[in-house]
Amino acid sequence: QSADMGVLCLTCRTLGRQLVLKKGLIIVASTLLLLLMLAAYSFMQYSVALQVASQSVPIYIEEDPSEIPIIVKRKLDVPKTSNDTTEQEVPFRKVKVNTPQPVEGDALQEKDHGVYLELSGNEEECVFSSTAPEAKPNVNVLDLLDSLSFDNRDGGVWKQGYDITYDTASFVKEPLQVFVAPHSHNDPGWIKTFQDYYNQQTRHIINNVVDALAEDEKRRFIWAEISFFELWWSEQPKNRRDLAKKLIDSGQLEIVTGGWVMNDEANTHYFAMVDQLMEGHQWLHDNVGVKPISGWAIDPFGYTPTMAYLLQRMGFHNMLIQRVHYALKKHFSQQKQLEYIWRQNWDHSTSTDMLCHMMPFYSYDVPHTCGPDPKICCQFDFKRIPGSRVSCPWRIPAQHITGSNVQERATAILDQYRKKAQLYRTNVLLVPLGDDFRYDMSSETHDQYNNYQRIFTYFDSHPELHVKAQFGTLKDYFTALRKATGVSGKAHPTGFPVLEGDFFTYADRDVDYWSGYYTSRPFYKNLDRILEDRLRAAEIIYSLAVAQSVVLPVGLEQELTRARRNLGLFQHHDGITGTAKNHVVVDYGNRLLDAVNGADHVMAAAAQALLLGDSQSESTASSLIFDVDETRAQHDSLPEKTIISLSQDVKKTVYLYNSLAHMRQELIILLVNSPSASVYDADGNPISCQVNPIVTSAGGITASKYELVFIAKMAPLSLTKYDIAGEANQFTTIASLECSGDPPSSSIFKTSTISSRSPFTLSTDQLEATFDGSNGLLRSMKRLHSDDSVIQTKIDFTVYSSPSSGAYLFLPAGLAQSVVEKSTSYCVTKGSLLHRVQVTMAMINHVVQLSNSPGVDGQSLYISNIIDVRRENNKELVMKLSTSINNDDSVYYTDLNGFQTIRRKTLDKLTTQGNFYPMPSYMFLQDTTSRVTLLSGQPLGVSSRERGVMEVVLDRRLSRDDNRGLGHGVTDNKMTLSSFRLLAEHRSAADSNPTREVSYPSLMAHHTSSILVLPVHHFIMKIISPSATTMAASYTGLKGRLPCDVHMLNLRSVFTSGRREAALLLHRKGFDCGFSTRPLTCHLTNGQVPVQQIFTSPPTSSERTSLTMMFPVEDSTDHIEPMEITTNRLSWS
């Protein structure tokens, strides 16, 4: 309808200009035409109503009388001439649309391209976020932390616990059932590289285990890391593969979790978590035919409920965790809550419930798994028999079990089993038996199995002990646990507590909080997010090309597989955490760079194929026409943008790739070699552009490159052409430059000195920001068109002195001190499309940027810091934002894995380091009327220890080892980029409960995060060839766009099916309806997404599956509930 209205308006204006009549006649004619236009519009609405009423699927529009006075502006998409700046608007009545199921294509059509989305708290779309879940959990982790004393009393042999007693008679009626689970924890990189670990240890471990299991069917083993298992499998002959598969099929060898790695849970983004799990699960499906059902996470340094949700939606039945704050473990042990049902805090039903087992003691090694006394348990680690390389630190060695000592030895370990059983609700007990890289020697493998079997046999021969012990897997244990509680299958045991929350920040002893690794090696944390974006973008455009049946170069599947696996490897809990040895970090870095380059190549090749279409041949496919816009010389260098060489004779062509399934209107920045430049759209129309100087850190202007800035409009999942000419036109503007000191001289740019040190203000059509005139740092901001209130957003930079910190631990010595000097050098770039303030300090090159864009990027401030702490020692650099937000009770919110939001509260009884938390993607402060959200392009550690204040740790350089196994500090720092967006929002109505348990980002925050971490990709045409002349001006993979709250997480090709298949992953995000959505022009459909209708190359079939496609899902609808991630297996015939 809006498109038809646009045609009528354009006709009206065109005819009006053609009338060469007197002024009065023009007015009369225009009035008649306007009346005619309105009558036609009314008739169209009536016709649409009739058409809708006739559809087989009922769709009806009902006006709510109470909402009729609400006026929303509908912008007419009328083309403008160069001298016509009029913005036409017409009011329309706000209506509710009840859509049980969309008519074909309705959820995607561009009918509402010019409508500003508006929300009301009473809308059906907002019920989810505005209503608290009815089912309340028994345990809320934050409330529990608030109530604990953290007195850390000496518990005796169980130092962090208490003395455990038991009544022997309690085992008469219900005998103790013990499952000893042999395992080996294999880090895919830590002290050694992934390949070195495999060559020197892991290959032998798997060989030893397979041989040992084949010798005795009573033996069991569990294995987690598929990255290692795939490497071992690739070396084995068929008979060894068949033997391993037989052991897995029989249940002797259980694959647990089945991810490529045992991923970190603090810094990881849910895209990469899902991807590495899918890589492992798909490999297992294709090669072994097994589907894991139990999660095993013994070494990540804290735990997120996101992992519980993902595993549940992947079809898992159970999970196990270990590294939880010792005070929480003690409390859960006392309350018999170590096994619980983990529920998401946003779950309005019980569909996300996951049975979780928490190990109770200090570590997952043998001394801390059989019972509370490590001195006793260590004696049952049969690798520590005298003569071995390891021994018991309590100086009582392990000894072989013989006929002469079996009674005493069995009695000793049974006492530990019985004591440990007192911490749980049943007499079914799990006892892990392993440690890092165990069973690498054949002698240890046989010693463990043989000695324990002698103990088990003794128990069997003495029924008066009322114990049955055996080797077991996680599946064996959880099956017995459910049986003991009267349930079976995937059902949850009755009477177990329900828990919500996360387990950050982890402390293993005293005040040793593991909050340092939230920031350690931030260079590679940033590179991780860059790779995630490149891989996702490559996956999507490659799958679209495959669906289109265009000719592609050979080898792209291998490049994508390698990129997936390199990204997956880095999600390991010693990879993205920044806690590996220096040479291992280099190995990770080279793998990440290789994956980035591979993904770039796939993107460029697929883009070329889609644009050439049927003109693409095998010969043209082998010769790439495009250069990517950004490259890295090596893994530890900052990216460098490609400089486009311009000439007056030939225009240079750039294609912009929007990997989002939503429209984008966004500022684009290219580098060119000349300030004489202009930009043209695909139709040859000139568009406004701005040329900026590039200011160096020394305060000069580069003479060989310039920024060219323009605003691009891009359809969802599209390639859009723009041409760059080597001469300026009337649409080209030159920015000005003002500096606090002597300005650099320039014959091109107007430069001047900032004479006053008073605060100054920069503004666009959407934003206004005020800066401190003495140092150039941000002081306040406000969004226009929503509220005139100014929100203080004062930026400062501080440093913690940390002589005791290490890669894992954050142990500051006192308060942070400001490093901003009273008078700091800065420069201000001003232009029609972009303003920028660039501040140069000792360790920081700090930039704040305002975009005069009508799109999402115009609603927030872009902040970037290039950090260099290589000359510092034992320092931790912090960006501090002091806002005017009056957040009560020291409550603030951070994200978990970019997937969901969790409430945080600063606890004064904890140390500084205990009040820092991971920020994978965002944090926000809010009060009754306002919210400030900091969106991050990389994971970092954050806190809010003062009212209205955010602290973000940017980098840390530390000379000491913190005694957690790494063996050195963190001194391999790089020049590191960190990027953010700062969004200030005012509520449409006051919030009476701004410290609520469950909170959500606004829709604007979600879209702002997307443009930050999923940027537009630029392909620069590097050659002019005959094939280039047949290249299309644009391509789009969608018929329209997805709803505002639905994000295309991935479109991931399936390579081993022998068919053209892909996994479509969609995430419907929960959002707070209390904030303005201007300028979003997308729509909401109450979760309806017609999967088979959204693509320009529609799939011939679509099947809803579990997240990693292991199991079918009995759901044939196109509906997605809020917060849910769905996977559909798409096939093209």
Catalytic positions, please? 299
Could you tell me the two tokens for 1003? 């829709």
- Does an H or E element contain 895, and which? strand 891-896
How far is 922 from 900, CA to CA, in rounded Å? 10
For the chain, the 3-state helix, strand and coil shares in percent, each to the nearest 5, are: 30, 25, 45
Distances (CA, A) of 1078 to 18, 479, 739, 930: 36, 52, 34, 16
Q: Closest Cα to residue 674, out of 736, 725, 750?
A: 725
- The answer for residues whose C-beta is within 8 angstroms of residue 932's C-beta and 6 or more apart is 791, 793, 881, 883, 885, 924, 925, 926, 950, 982, 983, 984, 985
Q: Are strands 664-672 and 643-644 parallel, antiparallel or unpaired?
A: parallel
Q: Of the candidates 316, 294, 306, which has an alpha carbon nearest to the alpha carbon of residue 346?
A: 306
Measure the CA–CA gap between 916 and 912, rounded to whole angstroms: 7
The total number of residues shown for the chain amounts to 1133
Q: Which two tokens stand for residue 1116?
A: 């044939």
CA dist., res. 494 & res. 492, Å (int): 6
Q: Which residues on neighbouring strands pair with residue 750, listed in sequence order? A: 736
Beta-carbon count within 10 A of 136 CB: 11
501, 936 Cβ separation under 8 angstroms: no
**1005-1033 burial, b for 16+ CB within 10 Å, e for fewer?**
bbbbbbbbbbbbbbbbbeeeeebbeebeb
DSSP letter (8 states) at residue 200: I
- The span from the CA of 431 to the CA of 377, in Å, is 11
Nearest residue to 553 via CA among 617, 621, 624? 621
Distances (CA, A) of 761 to 733, 820, 837, 852: 21, 20, 11, 14
Query: Using an 8 Å Cβ cutoff, are 1122 and 129 in contact?
Result: yes
Q: How far is the C-alpha of 878 from the C-alpha of 869, rounded, in Å?
A: 12
Determine the Cα–Cα distance for residues 404 and 400; give it in Å rounded to an integer. 10
The first and second tokens of residue 262, run together, are 């045992």
Going from the C-alpha of 862 to that of each of 761, 868, 1011, 1093, the distances in angstroms are 16, 20, 11, 36
- Strand pairing category for 640-641 and 339-342: unpaired
908, 354 Cβ separation under 8 angstroms: no
Q: Is-contact 675 721, C-beta < 8 A?
A: no
Helix/strand/coil (H/E/C) assignment for every residue in 49-75: HHHHHCCCCCCEEECCHHHCCCEEEEE
Task: Name residue 445's amino acid.
Answer: T
The DSSP bridge pattern shows strands 778-783 and 767-771 to be antiparallel
Q: Identity (one letter) of the amino acid at 203?
A: R
Q: What is the radius of gyration, based on Cα positions, of the chain?
A: 31
Q: What is the 3-state secondary structure (H, E, C) of 601-657?
A: HHHHHHHHHHHHHHHCCHHHHCCCCEEECEECCCCCCCCEECEECCCCCCCEEEEEE
CB 858 within 8 A of CB 765: yes
